[in-house]
A and B are shown apart, each in its own frame.
Chain A
Amino acid sequence: MTRRAFVEAGRGASRRVVAEPGGLVVSLAFYLVIVAVLSGLWRVAVAANGGDLAGYSAVALTWYIITSEAATVSVHARLIADVGDDISSGAIAVELLRPASVIGVRVATELGRTLPKLAALWVAGGVLAALVAGAPPRPVALLLAAPSLVLAVIANLIAQHAVAAAAFWLRDAGSAWFLYLKAVFITGGMIIPLELLPNGLERASLFLPFRAMAYAPARLASGFVEPQLLLEQLGWIAVLSVGAVAVFGAGERRLQVVGG
């Protein structure tokens, strides 16, 4: 029953994105502007550094950026704040009245909403990268980057729900949303490959889940055939799932005891 519920929730959300493509078009336009600007900056930086930055060529960094941005821009930008609002307003009570995991259905719904966007952004980004920089450095690595992108989105969605669950206690998850985005920006490798961070920060990022949300698929798409990144992502998804289910469960119990 549960698996079918998750599949239907995701399928329904995908249908909504396709039925009302306005949001998809806006995301696509925003994404193309961002990747055009960032990849242009990186190509200049690589050229100024003799054609190589920490092992990345200009082509590799272009493919890195179109992938890391696709992984993050495709996810609903205000997810933490919206889930937090549903919790603090009590709207989530309706979902407690269904015989299915609240967080499970919510993550499945968001995944369904994200995947069509992710596919559209990455394909458009790939075309842009091929036009402005050239073909992917190692096409075979893209075969690993594709599933890695899906895992990146899953890790991101689970983590955002875990953070949003703070609203069960704090009532306002808005400030957490801001901090979370900054963490993904920097220690997730969203705009800068982790190898280019200061040593301390790069080492710290190894122990944080954010690298599973942007860096892993971007590193693969930029031509590094490192399948262990997929295993690392799966590991983080397992850890985040346990954490999110525990936090959400504790929040639900608090709601049941204290009231909404």
Chain B
Amino acid sequence: MAIEVRGLSKVFQTGRRSARRRIEAVRDLDLVVADGERVAYIGPNGAGKSTSIKILTGILHPTSGEATVLGLTPWEDRKRLAGRIGTLFGQRSLLWLELTPRQSYRMLAAIYGLDRAEEPRRIAELGDLLDAADLFDQPVRSLSLGQRMRCELTACLLHDPEILFLDEPTIGLDLVAKQRFRELLVRLNEQQGTTIFLTSHDVADIEHVAKRAVVINHGEVIYDDEVAAMRRALLATKVVEVGLIAPIAPPTQRGVTVLEHTDQILRLVVDTHATPVRVVLDELLDGPAVADVSVVDPPLEQVIAEIYERPAR
């Protein structure tokens, strides 16, 4: 297993001694991630994501519980683990701004103890994989954010990590750079088998990179399933979009909410627990006003927002 966590908790004490306050950042967390998985670890701000990632990478000690990453206890074997994992935190650069990426890689290669003969080959290999070789000899400060992130990813892959911890890796990137970065992560996972453990507030990161989503809130796991299953299994609502050729009155069944209604378009949200979609469609199609109909799942953002509202499992 890449990651195994059992009953992990972290309590922070804040304030002065006389008025000390306990904050449970992580509460009794259980989690298992298999080798080669692509996991999105998500939750609202303050849910405990960053704290648990800091524990899993060895930066923080937990208050209680057990965790192993690649068979090592992170907070006891931080340096050994550091040689086997890669970390990319969106706002913290792994590169030295005044140097070129290649010069930074030389320093990182020395820190990670890469074989001197192996170092140029590995840099060239990653340059090809991430389509970034032409950037390696430019000063880091002259690179665009998207280019820099490709060089950052190269830096964190230099020592061939078995797991990649990514915390908001696409923050600040434009749409094209984000898409490219996501493709790189998937390619990396598929070609090299690197386990991806990703946190992001960008729903597209979750949709396009992760196969599994673990949702955490108030320090606890509140959802853990395949990303594709999130919409299907969890939402009892469907969005019905109707193109009209003549005005009609919207359906009035229980659980039907009108989102938009003009002479040309009718958009409804249907709570399928209250009224099956078929019943709504039967009523709509029972007249000459409908030109076309589509039934779609609600956007993933809405699904995730609903999960955030749920109590712990």
Contact = CB atoms under 8 A, between A and B. Distances in A.
Nearest to B51: A259
Contacts of A4: 110, 113
Contacts of A15: 99, 103
Contacts of B83: 99
Interface of B: 10, 12-13, 25, 51, 54, 57-61, 75, 78-80, 82-83, 85, 87, 89, 92-94, 96, 98-99, 103-104, 106-113
A99 B110 contact: no
B103 A99 contact: no
A7 B110 CA distance: 9
B111 A105 contact: yes
B290 to A, nearest CB: 57
Contacts of A99: 79-80, 82-83, 111-113
Contacts of A259: 10, 12, 25, 51, 54, 60
A25 to B, nearest CB: 16
Contacts of A9: 107, 110-111
Interface residues of A, number: 26
A100 B108 CA distance: 10
Contacts of B111: 1, 5, 8-9, 98-100, 105
B107 A8 contact: yes
Interface in A1-54: 1, 4-5, 7-9, 12, 15-16, 19-20
Contact of B59 (A1, A12, A255): A255
B98 A98 contact: no
Nearest to A7: B110
A30 B201 CA distance: 48
A15 B97 CA distance: 12
B96 A1 contact: no
A8 B106 contact: yes
A20 B139 CA distance: 11
B121 to A, nearest CB: 18
Interface of A: 1, 4-5, 7-9, 12, 15-16, 19-20, 91, 93-94, 96-100, 105, 255-260
Contacts of B58: 96-97, 256
A258 B99 CA distance: 34
Contacts of B108: 98
A91 B92 contact: yes
B94 A94 contact: yes
Closest 10 pairs between A and B when the two form their complex, measured CB to CB: A1-B113, A8-B110, A16-B98, A99-B82, A5-B111, A99-B83, A5-B110, A4-B110, A99-B79, A100-B111
B98 A96 contact: no
A23 to B, nearest CB: 10
Nearest to A10: B107
B106 A256 contact: no
B103 A12 contact: yes
Contacts of A5: 107, 110-111, 113
A105 B108 CA distance: 11
A97 B87 contact: yes
6 contacts: A1-B113, A5-B111, A94-B94, A96-B58, A97-B82, A97-B87
A157 B191 CA distance: 45
Contact of B61 (A12, A93, A94, A257): A257
Contact of A256 (B75, B98, B109, B113): B75
A100 B89 CA distance: 19
